[in-house]
Amino acid sequence: MIADLIYDVGLHKGEDAAFYLKKGFKVLGIEANPELVRHCQGRFHTEVASGQLRIIEGAIAPESEGPTITFYKSSDSVLGTINKDRAARTEKLGHRSERIVLPRIDVVDIYRSCGVPYFLKIDVEGADQLVLEGLKQQPNRPQYISVESDKVDFGEIKAQLGLLRELGYRKFKAVQQQRIPGSRVETKALDGAKVAHVFEAGASGPFGEDLGGPWLDFDGIIDRYRSIFRDYRYFGDDSLLARFPVLALPFKAVYKLCTGQRGSLPGWYDTHASL
């Protein structure tokens, strides 16, 4: 493991990389969308020039796909994916997709050539599991991992958590993402200097010991996601209330009062894991 390296897998517009760079880490960003790659090359031209940030362009996909892969570039840039079914699902929500062909990235090759990072942030719609699976072939593990959790299939959540446990992770948190934009963290850079940061829209927030709240064991995180999926069932994209938004606000208020629920409903979550 390389103690001063972070992988930002799903670089997007650099919302997270900005925080990692401010903390003094070297960052390897992986991004499929060519427009977002150009954006980040401009935004971070100084860090790219110095070598603090390296950007790899292409889409992570299975070796069986060959040297290139079809990528569904969404009108909502956070929803771009190699997964045809996921693209169809987002189109039903009003986000059109454009098919483009990109070079395929083998994440195992990246681990071997660049090393295993201290922190691995994964947010690549439909390919998160591939990034985790690639760690099986490495002798070391990142100290911390964050990965976007599914909102539709509880079975996928259990499979993802099971893989994390298989990889050696024993501590977990489910972190609500809807309230990250505009939130502030005060932490330290690698050199010990104080760092204050306000997270911009699209950022996934702090990681590691900068996260609030207790770590949960495997059974605890499974129970936590059961309650989260209850919220998805009542308030999520496919819920009855989503079809009748005029009813959502009063129902949410009553639900919070009766259950003690705090924060956004239903929002969406990242799973954080620690060795």
Query: Which tens digit of pLDDT belongs to each residue from 148-157?
Result: 998 788 999 9
Two tokens, residue 196 = 């204050």
pLDDT category of residue 97 using cuts at 50, 70 and 90: confident
Q: pLDDT at position 220, please?
A: 98
Q: What is the mean pLDDT of the chain?
A: 88
**How far apart are the C-alpha atoms of 57 and 54, rounded to whole Å?**
10
Average pLDDT rounded to a whole number, residues 245-265? 62
Average pLDDT rounded to a whole number, residues 38-52? 98
- Supply the pTM of this predicted model: 0.89
Q: pLDDT at position 254, please?
A: 59
> Domain map of the chain by residue range?
143-275
Q: pLDDT at position 250, please?
A: 67
Give the E-state strand segments of the chain in sequence order: 2-9, 26-31, 53-57, 59-60, 68-74, 97-105, 117-122, 144-148, 171-176, 184-188, 194-198, 269-274
Two tokens, residue 122 = 């994964």
Q: pLDDT at position 12, please?
A: 95
